[in-house]
Copies of this chain bind each other. A is one copy, B any other.
Amino acid sequence: MKLVARTMNLEVGGKYVVILNKEDADFLGLHALDRVRLKCKGKELTAIVDITTRFVMKGEIMTNDDVTTFFNLSGGEHIDVSKEKGPESLIYIKQKIAGARLEYNKIKKIIKDVVDKKLSDIELTALVTALYTRGISIDEAASFSRAMVETGKRFKFGKKVICDKHSIGGIPGDKTSLVLVPIIAASGLTIPKTSSKAITSPCGTAERMEVLAPVDLTLDEIEEVVKKTNACLVWGGALDLAPADDEFIKIEYPLGIDPMLLPSIMSKKKAVNAKYVVIDIPTGKETKVTSMEKARELAEDFLELGKRLGMHVACGITFGDQPLGYCIGPTLEAREALLTLQGKGPRDLVKKATMLCDILFNEVGAKNHGAALQILKSGKAEKKMREIIEAQGGDPEIKPENIEVGDKIFKVKSDTEGRVLWVKNSAIVLIAREAGAPKDKSAGIHLNVKMGDKVKKGDLLFTIHSNNYIRLSDAAKLAEELKPITVGKKFEEKMLLEKIFAEIPTRKIFMLER
């Protein structure tokens, strides 16, 4: 059936969508969300159908942005429209729903259809939910990883031996990569680090680094930076490394499930050609992984998956019961990282970064235990970081004291004396976000105390920063309500971690960052 194109500048989550009049749809036997094959100007495309009775006239076809761009339509063209059966991968998705284990060929077809946007939200959601409820075997995870790499772009760095680091995330203030990457690069190894932006957290590594230098580089620019400095610290989101993952995240985020964690991470490591990888698994009550048992299981899965993908993987299970360092929020964290590279960093951050470096050195085969701390103390890591900043287009002379943090501040003091018994990650995340982070780069929280510190009545516990009084006041109210820092005499006095009222707390956050 030939229909006349009418273009509409509507983006529908990156899908190819057309809208038909109900009469035409009935004639073609189409229901809403069915697929049609479109032919125009010698090109073909599969799109998803929406149906209207008035907005689009009989004989017309409304095309959304993606369809308009694909055919280079200006309106008035004739498009040949026919009904299309579901894509082949739908059969495999149904098999997974039914409980099957899928082989590589089927998984490859699924991932290809995901990347080609041939699956509807319903089909994609059913897949993600079934992957979660039925579980993924290591074989399936390997197949997914491989298929995700093959359907995306890859880094090429010639014969260099590539190292990489990843944190599964979950604790606020985790600026380890900004310290680890320059140490590794200063040691002579190559580490092209790509990072994500925050989705549910107050700051991702991409936002931290963006305070110091541009992170939105092209593949060619990144290769140039790595050639010069042995490293980079860039945003991986627009590089099309494992692009299927972006589609999965769109579904996982509203559902708060993360079945693709392993393939998602490992495909991105594979796409940068990493040979040696260290994975950080922060473990604690209020992070992603809550028990040592689960952390060990996850670590084993990473190791096993690494083997199948031809990578050496090691994992560090790290203390995740409070934020890392004292600063949360992009500029606050960038400043803390720079100070750390100058030898003035908080002990937990220094310890964690150098410990993960030493795991990598050990993997690669270097024997010098403690080398990471030496490199940090020698100033070589700071020098390397300034080289990376310069290569990415930032100011290599940047000083910590010149990084501006939010000048609207709210101080929270202790109303009692004792020791800091705990610092709640989830509360810190919510307050920092309420203050404006990560969108407002200067917003965040500066902690004055950490677990175990002695506190007197009236002592400063933390400061909230923002560039906006309304947001600051909202964050202050939230801090009053959530009380992120608990001060008490002894742990025994404070056995109650949280009161659960009849009403279900809806603030519980799911940290998708990976």
Minimum distance in angstroms from A73 CB to a CB of chain B: 15
Measured between beta carbons, the chain B residues less than 8 angstroms from A123 are: 254-255
Find out whether the CB atom of B54 lies under 8 angstroms from the CB atom of A9.
yes
Bound CA–CA A122/B12 (angstroms): 14
Q: Cβ of A91 < 8 Å from any Cβ of B?
A: yes
A365 vs B404: C-alpha distance when bound (angstroms) = 85
The one of B26, B55, B91, B506 in contact with A8, judged by C-beta atoms closer than 8 angstroms, is B55
Contacts of A11 in B (CB 8 A): 50-53, 55
Q: Is A452 an interface residue (CB 8 A)?
A: no
- What's the minimum C-beta distance from A398 to chain B, rounded to whole angstroms? 27
Residues of B within 8 A of A54 (CB): 9
A414 contacts which chain B residues (CB < 8 A)?
Answer: none
Q: Judging by beta carbons under 8 Å apart, are B9 and A97 in contact?
A: no
Expressed in whole angstroms, the minimum distance between the Cβ of A29 and any Cβ of chain B is: 8
Q: Which of A285-341 contact B (CB under 8 A)?
A: none
A407 in contact (CB, < 8 A): no
Contact of A94 among B52, B65, B255 (CB under 8 A): B255
Is A97 touching B255 in the complex (CB atoms < 8 A)? yes
Q: A337 to B86, alpha carbons, bound, how many Å?
A: 36
Closest chain-B Cβ to A449's Cβ sits at a distance in Å of: 30
Q: Is the CB of A97 within 8 A of B132?
A: yes
Q: How far is the CB of A478 from chain B (nearest CB, A)?
A: 14
**A91 and B506: CB pair below 8 A?**
yes
A129 to B134: give the CA distance in the assembly, Å. Answer: 11
- Across the interface, which residues of B come within 8 angstroms of A42, CB to CB? none
In residues 97-134 of chain A, which contact B (Cβ within 8 Å)?
A: 97, 99, 120-123, 125-126, 128-130, 132-134
Q: Complex formed: what's the CA distance from A19 to B10 in Å?
A: 9
| CA A86 to CA B508, docked complex, whole Å | 12
Decide yes or no whether A85 CB sits under 8 A from chain B: yes
User: A257 contacts which chain B residues (CB < 8 A)?
Assistant: 94, 97, 126
Q: Is the Cβ of B13 less than 8 Å from the Cβ of A33?
A: yes
The closest CB in chain B to the CB of A14 belongs to B32
Known: A9-B55, A10-B19, A439-B26. Contact between A91 and B504, CB under 8 A?
yes
Could you say which of B50, B88, B125 contacts A122, with CB atoms under 8 Å apart?
A: B125
- Residue with the greatest number of chain B CB neighbours at <10 A, chosen from A13, A93, A125: A125
Chain B residue with minimal CB distance to A507?
Answer: B85
CB under 8 Å from chain B, chain A span 362-389? none
C-alpha gap A280/B11 in the complex (Å): 47
Cα(A301)–Cα(B396), bound, Å: 71
Interface residues of A in 132-148 (CB under 8 A from B): 132-134
User: Is the pair B9, A251 in contact by a Cβ cutoff of 8 Å?
Assistant: no
**Interchain CA distance A323-B52 in the complex, whole Å:** 36
- Closest chain B residue, CB of each to CB of A51: B11
Residues of B within 8 A of A125 (CB): 121-122, 125-126, 129
Q: How far is the CA of A94 from the CA of B510 in the complex (A)?
A: 12
Which residues of A in the span 383-413 have a Cβ within 8 Å of any Cβ on B?
A: none
Cβ of A256 < 8 Å from any Cβ of B?
yes
Beta-carbon contact of B86 and A13 below 8 Å: no
A255–B13 CB distance below 8 A: no
Query: Looking at the complex, which one of B50, B55, B251 makes contact with A13 (CB distance below 8 Å)?
Result: B50
The CA-CA distance from A452 to B254 in the complex, in Å, is 56
A12, A93, A253, A254 — most chain B CB neighbours (10 Å): A254
Chain B residues positioned under 8 Å from A51 (CB to CB) = 11
How far is B370's CA from A16's CA once the two chains are assembled, in angstroms? 59
Instruction: For the complex of A and B, list the 9 residue pairs with the smallest distance between their C-beta atoms, beginning with the closest.
Output: A125-B125, A129-B129, A9-B55, A133-B133, A9-B54, A126-B129, A122-B125, A10-B55, A13-B32
A interface, CB within 8 angstroms of B: 8-13, 19, 26, 29, 31-33, 50-55, 65, 85-86, 88, 91, 93-94, 97, 99, 120-123, 125-126, 128-130, 132-134, 250-251, 253-257, 439, 504, 506
- In the complex, besides A9-B54, A121-B122, A125-B129, 15 extra interface pairs with C-beta distance below 8 angstroms are A9-B53, A10-B50, A11-B52, A11-B53, A11-B55, A13-B33, A29-B439, A31-B253, A33-B250, A94-B255, A99-B133, A122-B254, A122-B255, A125-B125, A126-B255
